[in-house]
Amino acid sequence: MQLITWSTINRRYFARGQGPSKAEWTTAVLQGEINGKIWPGQNKVYIDLDDFLSRDQFTAANDPHAPKMDLLD
């Protein structure tokens, strides 16, 4: 597991303004769609880079009918 900030992932892998927002990344981590860590006291969101690079879509781990965050769209 290699944790990096959500903004670093957006900067590296998405066109400017096209990546998920901080709130969307936070929701994805909290719902188990992607591995990551949230430090509430510092309001920082970290994403597991290895998990991110191994996927092209995210869905909530406990809800296969939940809407998907399509990273290739």
pTM of the predicted model as reported, rounded to 2 decimal places: 0.75
Residue 36: how many other CB atoms lie within 10 Å:
24
Kindly tell me if the per-residue pLDDT of 65 is higher than 60. no
Q: Write the secondary structure of 4-58 as one string of H (helix), E (strand) and C (coil).
A: EEHHHHHHHHCCCCCCCCHHHHHHHHHCCCCCEEEECCCCEEEEEHHHHHCCCEE
- Helix 22-30 to helix 6-13 angle (10° resolution) is 120
Query: Is 73 or 57 the better-scoring residue by pLDDT?
Result: 57
Q: What pLDDT score does 63 carry?
A: 52
Q: What is the pLDDT of residues 21-40, one digit of tens each?
A: 999 999 999 988 899 999 88
